[in-house]
């Protein structure tokens, strides 16, 4: 018994730092956030710290990801971290948010601050002050176009520019702050595309600088020892060919091939590296950067986000000194991917949570306001809260925003040539919601209508009485966690 | 707020439940119950439960066949038969044929009773007394009749003209009768006297012999005769009901104790004023008076079906049914027989089933009640029937002038009443309705 | 005990029964029986609304304040009718007192129904806040 007192293990608050580099990084983090909102489980970590690295401050993909993260964080913050599972369970924090003693150097944002790089590349490298010899080398490496391009919209598919700018990243206040707060047991994950500008250049540089054995960073030892994973997204979309555009998707393969040969030799310090690719899809509108670069969510990004979950599934003992390489494959080359086309392992990770959150979202939109006479509705005083209380507004946005909302995300996923379309989004009939897993009800049996409005309402009323939770928003979310779980477990059972 | 309201509500609930319990325990009902249980006992003291009987073991019939009776049973009447024969012949036949009576014996009373069979006796009644006997005195006959068959029923048919040898003994007739009948009373017997009159064809022997000893070829008016029924009260009652029925014009009774009649205030019929029945169940024998601002009137139903018809007659009731209650001005406003009552306005249109148990309805009225409670006594006095006095004469020697009367009949009845302790003060029944002011 | 209670509550609104001769039957039979039936029916209606329709049945779409009020009126009407029938059965003439009594009985039916509703509704799944939350 005496020993018992000493065996209490203080669980350390381990964190996962995700560097989302470039537009692809933002999009994968978006999908990851959706999964976490739906309650997908991310193991071995208490806090996810996404750091989006994209010099293109106007990038549409990034901005809507950031908006999503902000809303997520507000909701999670109110719900608290003490919940064992459920929607918004995982704590997603900004870099400055991980430590309370922020000195104001690092802004409370998910986005890396590139400061004042609203200048041309020529000015950034002080081209005019270079010696004539150096100028010659620069002229050899960069075209006149490169030199004249403003950095505010990123590197526009030009890793040669990115590598120069991003090499300086390690000196920034953000990375210093990151290092200072890095603790033993924290993990690092990089998300980048191999064919872009920012990602292709930034990922190897960032990895090299962080894992450098001579690194001047604080906690360099912990950083070096930290379990580190990365996903490199190979080309999965094409761009419409436009004369005069700086980005030409026809060069993606060439760029990819070059980058891969570099990675082969120069990526040190990775425990796991995930590769993911698909044959190019319908061409995206060619927008080299800025707010115009806002691409539809793609199954590749969703699967990439699942790579993060997969990486976190492994414990320290699972890794050796060698890098483990992962690739992803569907069980069937389906153009409309349903849950049935995923491997059981993948399905387990997301099917239940996405389904349940979709039930929640559908109920929230279509049925909730019909329940004004239900005890749960009255007891929660939802008529005073819905559409008025900031948290409920946030929840509404997270579900319904045309920009970053959950339903829009699902819609986008379903609109690609290879689409992720596990749900019938245009129906409000819960029984027909999960494609390939429709719930069959018998007309003669009024006592079992599958998952219906009535089913949910009864369960909401019943659960509301049992839950002892004074906070209305927390209770509201918990209610739907419980009833959607019951609906899924009793009526769907397994996808 | 959300947390405090359920608490307040729970409190309210508790208060309500408490109130409920409080009202239950404070209801005034307990007192009511005590009252009623006390009053329902009161009628029972009037009730003398008679021994139920449905047969008579022995009936002795005594027919006086002295010369004075020959006028009722003449041997050579000019035309037809006498009223006496008309009545007594079927009466005797009824006795003879009755299944209620186990054994029947018949006697002719001469100077003493002689047993005779029914056929002989019936012949005497029908074809007249062939050989009239010397008579004996009434007390002597009675004495022998009572002694012979104390447990059965004895019938004595006679003209009851008491003619003792010593003329002065006439004055002591009451005493003599009393002496004889005291014995009957001690044996627990009762007497019913039935009286009728009959045409008379023969020699009349008056009791008063100061003038003529006899009145020949009598009489121009009918002459009374009597049937005395003596025996255990329950057997006499049974006999009267089964055999006598309404054979005789008049009757008088002594030595009976009558069962208290069923009675009830009937609150549904013709109620006036502010009162109601406070009895818990069954018959309403307790009335609560709420208010006497206006007079209270109520109808009391009473069942006189078990009384001899004489007592239940309208005239007898009007004279002798008394309703008295101290501290009130209660009075009877009317007495209705059942048939009449049912036709009254306010009754006829109602369900009359609840009236069935009662033969008479007494309507009473009061305007004041000066005590919290009072008892209304409904009493029926056992008065000597009027006919006794009417049929009495002090001198029967001029019978054709006197009419249908019997010498010193009232004297005889005095003796009867003395012997059985009945009289003006005796009641046939005394039932009580309690009135109380509503609290 | 019971007659006393019902006499008390009915005579809060009514005079003593008229005509006076009907008082015993009102006090001893009509008030207690009609009162008990009233309570029983009100309980029954409450139970049907809160527990049969809005708890046991899987489809509970009859929980609005208006639905609740329908039950309230049904209960009042049924109790009115029962009181009338019972008085008739007890051969009490249909005078103005009987009508008043039936009306008061209907009012009590409503009161009992409301009372039982608020006492017992909390355990109803689908209608624990009907007709309104407080």
> Model confidence over A459-485: pLDDT tens digits?
998 899 888 989 999 999 999 999 999
**3-state SS, one letter per residue, for chain B:** CCCHHHHHHHHHHHHHHHHHHHHHHHCCHHHHHHHHHHHCCHHHHHCCCCCCCCCEEEEEEEEECEHHHCCCCCCCCCCCCCHHHHHHHHHHHHHHHCCCEEEEEEEEECCCEEEECHHHHHHHHHHCCCCCECCCCHHHHHHHHHHHCCCCEEEEEECCCCCCCCHHHHHHHHHHHHHHHHHHHHCCCEEEEEEEEECCCEEECCCCCCCCCCEEEECCCCEEEEEEEEECHHHHHHHHHHHHCCCCCEEEEECCCCCCCCEEEECCCCCECEEEECCCCCCCCEEEEEECCCCEEEEEEECCCCCCHHHHCHHHHHHHEEEECCCECCEEEEEEEHHHHHCCCCCCCCCCHHHCCCCEEEEEEECCECCCEEEEEEEEECCCCHHHHHCEECCCCCHHHHCCCEECHHHHHHHHHHHHCCCCCCEEEEEEEEEEECC
> Model confidence over C43-62: pLDDT tens digits?
999 999 999 988 887 766 78
Residues 6+ apart with CB under 8 A from A110: A50, A51, A52, A65, A66, A69, A70, A94, A95
What is the distance in angstroms between the Cα of C101 and the nearest Cα belonging to chain B? 19
Task: Give the start-to-end residue ranges of the domains of chain B.
Answer: 57-256+390-421, 260-383+428-437
Q: How far apart are CA B334 and CA B341, in angstroms?
A: 10
Which of A379, A446, A458 faces C126 most closely, judged by CB atoms?
A458
Q: Which positions in chain A touch C64 (Cβ < 8 Å)?
A: 373
Ranking A267-271, B130-134, C49-53 by mean pLDDT, the lowest is: B130-134
Q: Within its chain, how far is the Cα of B331 from the centroid?
A: 23
Architecture of domain A15-328: 3-Layer(aba) Sandwich (3.40)
So what's the pLDDT on residue A51? 92
Q: Do B5 and C5 lie within an 8 Å CB cutoff?
A: no
Share of chain B above pLDDT 70, in %: 84
The three-class DSSP label of residue C128 is coil
Is the CB of A379 inside 8 Å of chain C's CB atoms? yes
So what's the pLDDT on residue B23? 45
Share of chain A above pLDDT 90, in %: 37
Q: Which positions in chain C touch A454 (Cβ < 8 Å)?
A: 58-61
Which of C59, C63, C132 faces A374 most closely, judged by CB atoms?
C63
Is the CB of C58 inside 8 Å of chain B's CB atoms? no
> Model confidence over B11-22: pLDDT tens digits?
445 445 444 444
Is the CB of C130 inside 8 Å of chain A's CB atoms? yes
**Would you say residue A397 has pLDDT above 90?**
yes
Residues 6+ apart with CB under 8 A from B423: B382, B384, B417
Q: How far apart are CA A275 and CA A229, in angstroms?
A: 11
Mean pLDDT is highest, among B5-14, B18-27, B72-81, for B72-81
So what's the pLDDT on residue C100? 94
> Model confidence over A158-190: pLDDT tens digits?
667 777 777 777 778 888 889 988 988 899 999
So what's the pLDDT on residue C125? 84
What is the distance in angstroms between the Cα of C68 and the nearest Cα belonging to chain A? 11
H-only helix segments in A38-158: 60-79, 121-124, 132-141, 144-148
Q: Which positions in chain C touch B20 (Cβ < 8 Å)?
A: 5
- What string of DSSP letters covers C54-91? IIISS-----SHHHHHHHHHHHHHHHHHHHHHHHHHTT
Ranking A184-193, A418-427, A481-490, C1-10 by mean pLDDT, the lowest is: C1-10
Task: Give the start-to-end residue ranges of the domains of chain C.
Answer: 2-9+19-123
Is the CB of C121 inside 8 Å of chain B's CB atoms? no
Task: Give the start-to-end residue ranges of the domains of chain A.
Answer: 15-328, 350-492
Return residues 42-81 of C near A (CB < 8 Å).
58-61, 63-65
Q: What is the mean pLDDT of chain B?
A: 81
Q: Strands of A234-332 (E only): list them.
A: 272-276, 324-327
pLDDT band, residue B41 (cuts 50/70/90):
very low
**Would you say residue B128 has pLDDT above 70?**
yes
Architecture of domain B260-383+428-437: Sandwich (2.60)
């Amino acid at each position: 018994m005496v020993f018992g007192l000493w065996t209490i293990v203080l669980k350390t608050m381990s964190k996962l730092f995700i560097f989302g580099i470039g537009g692809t990084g933002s999009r994968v983090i978006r999908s990851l956030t959706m999964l976490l909102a739906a309650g997908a489980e991310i193991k071995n970590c208490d806090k996810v710290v996404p750091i989006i690295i994209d010099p293109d401050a106007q990038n549409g993909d990034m901005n809507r990801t950031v908006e999503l993260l902000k809303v997520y964080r507000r909701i999670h913050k109110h719900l608290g971290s003490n919940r064992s599972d459920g929607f918004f369970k995982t704590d997603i924090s900004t870099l400055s948010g991980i430590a309370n003693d922020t000195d104001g150097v690092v802004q409370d944002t998910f986005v890396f601050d590139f400061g004042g790089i609203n200048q041309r590349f020529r000015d950034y490298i002080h081209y005019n002050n270079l010696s004539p010899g150096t100028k010659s080398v620069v002229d050899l490496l960069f075209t006149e176009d490169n030199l004249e391009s403003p950095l505010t919209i990123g590197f526009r598919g030009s890793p040669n520019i990115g590598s120069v700018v991003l090499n300086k990243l390690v000196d920034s206040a953000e990375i210093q702050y990151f290092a200072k707060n890095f603790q033993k047991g924290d993990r690092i994950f990089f998300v980048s595309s191999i064919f872009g500008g920012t990602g292709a250049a930034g990922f190897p540089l960032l990895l090299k600088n962080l894992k450098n054995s001579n690194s001047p960073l604080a906690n360099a030892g912990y950083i070096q020892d930290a379990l580190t994973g990365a996903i490199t997204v190979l080309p999965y979309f094409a761009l419409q060919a436009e004369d005069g555009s700086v980005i030409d998707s026809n060069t993606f393969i060439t760029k990819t091939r070059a980058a891969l040969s570099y990675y082969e030799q120069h990526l040190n310090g990775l425990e796991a590296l995930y590769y993911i690719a698909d044959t190019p899809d319908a061409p995206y509108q060619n927008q080299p950067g800025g707010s115009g670069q806002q691409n539809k969510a793609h199954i590749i990004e969703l699967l990439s986000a699942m790579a993060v979950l997969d990486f976190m599934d492994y414990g320290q003992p699972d890794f050796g000194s060698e890098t483990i390489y992962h690739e992803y494959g569907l069980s069937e080359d389906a153009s409309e991917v349903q849950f049935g086309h995923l491997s059981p392992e993948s399905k387990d990770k997301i099917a239940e949570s996405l389904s349940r959150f979709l039930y929640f979202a559908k109920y929230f939109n279509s049925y909730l306001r019909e329940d004004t006479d239900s005890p749960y509705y009255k007891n929660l005083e939802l008529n005073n809260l819905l559409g008025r209380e900031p948290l409920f507004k946030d929840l509404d946005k997270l579900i319904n925003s045309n920009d970053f909302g959950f339903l829009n995300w699902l819609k986008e996923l379903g609109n690609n040539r290879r689409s992720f379309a596990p749900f019938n989004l245009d129906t409000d009939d819960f029984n027909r919601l999960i494609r390939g897993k429709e719930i069959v009800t018998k007309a003669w049996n009024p006592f079992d209508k599958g998952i219906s409005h009535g089913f949910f309402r009864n369960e909401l009323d019943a659960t509301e009485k049992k839950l002892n939770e004074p906070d209305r928003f927390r209770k509201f979310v918990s209610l739907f966690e419980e009833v959607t779980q019951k609906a899924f477990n009793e009526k769907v059972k397994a996808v | 707020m959300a947390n405090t309201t359920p608490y307040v509500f729970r409190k309210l609930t508790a208060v309500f439940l408490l109130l409920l319990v409080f009202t239950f325990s404070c209801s005034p009902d307990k007192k009511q119950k005590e009252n009623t249980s006390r009053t329902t006992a009161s009628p029972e003291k009037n009730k003398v439960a008679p021994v139920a009987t449905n047969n008579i073991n022995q009936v002795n019939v005594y027919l006086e066949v002295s010369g004075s009776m020959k006028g009722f049973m003449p041997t050579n009447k000019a035309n037809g038969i006498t009223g006496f024969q008309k009545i007594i012949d079927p009466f005797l036949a009824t006795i003879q044929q009755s299944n209620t009576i186990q054994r029947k014996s018949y006697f002719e009373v001469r100077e003493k009773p002689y047993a005779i069979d029914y056929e002989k006796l019936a012949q005497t009644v029908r074809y007249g007394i062939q050989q009239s006997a010397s008579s004996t005195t009434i007390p002597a006959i009675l004495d022998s009749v009572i002694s012979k068959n104390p447990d059965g029923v004895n019938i004595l048919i006679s003209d009851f003209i008491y003619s003792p040898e010593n003329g002065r003994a006439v004055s002591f007739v009451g005493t003599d009768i009393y002496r004889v009948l005291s014995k009957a009373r001690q044996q627990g017997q009762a007497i019913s006297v039935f009286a009728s009159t009959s045409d008379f064809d023969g020699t009349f022997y008056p009791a008063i012999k100061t003038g003529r000893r006899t009145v020949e070829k009598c009489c121009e008016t009918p002459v009374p005769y009597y049937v005395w029924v003596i025996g255990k009260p329950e057997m006499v009652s049974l006999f009267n009901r089964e055999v006598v029925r309404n054979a005789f014009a008049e009757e008088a009774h002594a030595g009976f104790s009558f069962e208290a009649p069923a009675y009830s205030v009937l609150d549904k019929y013709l109620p006036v004023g502010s009162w109601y029945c406070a009895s818990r169940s069954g018959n309403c024998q307790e009335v609560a008076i709420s208010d006497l601002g206006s007079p209270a009137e109520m109808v009391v139903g009473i069942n006189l079906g078990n009384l001899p018809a004489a007592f239940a007659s309208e005239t007898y009731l009007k004279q002798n049914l008394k309703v008295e209650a101290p501290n009130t001005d209660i009075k009877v406003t009317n007495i209705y027989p059942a048939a009449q009552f049912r036709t009254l306005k306010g009754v006829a249109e109602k369900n009359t089933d609840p009236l069935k148990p009662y033969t008479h309805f007494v309507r009473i009225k009061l305007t004041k009640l000066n005590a919290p409670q009072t008892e209304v006594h409904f009493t029926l006095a056992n008065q000597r029937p009027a006919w006794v006095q009417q049929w009495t004469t002090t001198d029967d020697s001029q019978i054709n002038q006197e009419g249908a009367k019997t010498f010193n009949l009232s004297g005889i009845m005095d003796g009867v009443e003395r012997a059985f302790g009945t009289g003006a003060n005796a009641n046939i029944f005394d039932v009580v309705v309690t009135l109380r002011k509503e609290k | 005990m019971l007659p006393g209670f019902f006499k008390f509550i009915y005579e809060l609104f009514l005079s003593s029964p008229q005509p006076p001769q009907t008082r015993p039957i009102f006090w001893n039979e009509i008030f207690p029986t009609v009162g008990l039936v009233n309570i029983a029916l009100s309980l029954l209606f409450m139970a049907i609304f809160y527990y049969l329709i809005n708890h046991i049945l899987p489809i509970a779409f009859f929980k609005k304040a208006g639905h609740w009020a329908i039950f309230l009126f049904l209960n009042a009407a049924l109790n009115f009718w029962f009181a009338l029938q019972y008085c008739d059965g007890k051969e009490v003439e249909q005078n103005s007192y009987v009508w008043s009594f039936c009306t008061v009985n209907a009012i009590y039916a409503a009161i009992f129904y409301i009372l039982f509703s608020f006492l017992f509704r909390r355990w109803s799944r689908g209608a624990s806040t009907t007709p309104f939350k407080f």
